[in-house]
Amino acid sequence: MKERRFWLAAALTFWVAGGLQQGLAFRASIFGVEPDYLLVAAALVGFMGGFNAAIIGGFAAGLIHAALTGTDTWQFVGSKMLACLFCAFVIESRFQRNIGVGAATVAVATVIASLILMIVAPSHLMGSPIKATIIGAIYNGVIALAVYIPLERLTGTRGQEL
């Protein structure tokens, strides 16, 4: 029952994140860096749900992001899955699960995903990849701060293990 609620909430989150990525991300860019709503959603789902949630969430986020941008699927799927696995690793280790750790984890996950993307698909268009990565990490971390509590309530994982 709890698992069903969690996956339904996760699916809803990905749907909303996909829509925001499609319609809002380019308008919400700061210093030329767009937020990655799908990565935030996948990272938090992995953070709250563990390894299985991280793998499935990362795959779904990568698939949706690739479909929306029209680029190669595996670069997004791979980078997001690995970033989400890091989030799951954090929560499976001795770290406390709370909003601060969640936001920091999302920020680090963003850095990981960006680094992987830089390796598998370097873009000559990106003026300063390091700077963009740092800004993107902070941006996604702030978004994670905002959505952490609602997502925790939605998935029913507040104060309990999945």
Partner 1 sequence: MWQRSARAGGNVTFVDQIIRSVCSPIGVASGAIGKGVNDYTMGAIRASHLQDENARLQRQINALSMYSETVGRLEKEIDSLRRLQGLPDTYGKEKIRTDITGFFLNSNRLTIGVGKNKGLKVGMPVVCADGLVGTIQVVGPGDAQVRLLTTAGVQLSSIIPSHTPPGKGLLIGNGSATLQMSFQSATTNVVSGDIVTTSGFSTMIPRGIPIGRVLTVESQPELGSSRAKILPAVDVSTLREVVVLK
Residues that bind partner 1 (CB under 8 A): 15-16, 18-24, 27-28, 63-64, 66-68, 70-75, 120-123
For residue 33, list its beta bridge partners: 30
For residue 89, list its beta bridge partners: none
Whichever of 108 and 116 has its CB closer to partner 1, that residue is: 116
Whichever of 50 and 57 has its CB closer to partner 1, that residue is: 57
Give the integer Cα–Cα distance in Å for 101 and 44: 11
Whichever of 52 and 71 has its CB closer to partner 1, that residue is: 71
Q: How far is CA 119 from CA 32, 69, 79, 123, in A?
A: 21, 19, 10, 10
Q: How far is the CB of 82 from partner 1 (least distance, A)?
A: 16
Whichever of 19 and 100 has its CB closer to partner 1, that residue is: 19
Nearest Cα to 69, choosing from 25, 27, 108? 25
Q: How far is the CB of 161 from partner 1 (least distance, A)?
A: 31
Contact assessment for residue 39 and residue 61, using Cβ atoms and an 8 Å cutoff: yes
Q: How far is the CB of 28 from partner 1 (least distance, A)?
A: 6
Q: How far is the CB of 21 from partner 1 (least distance, A)?
A: 7
Give the integer Cα–Cα distance in Å for 99 and 123: 33
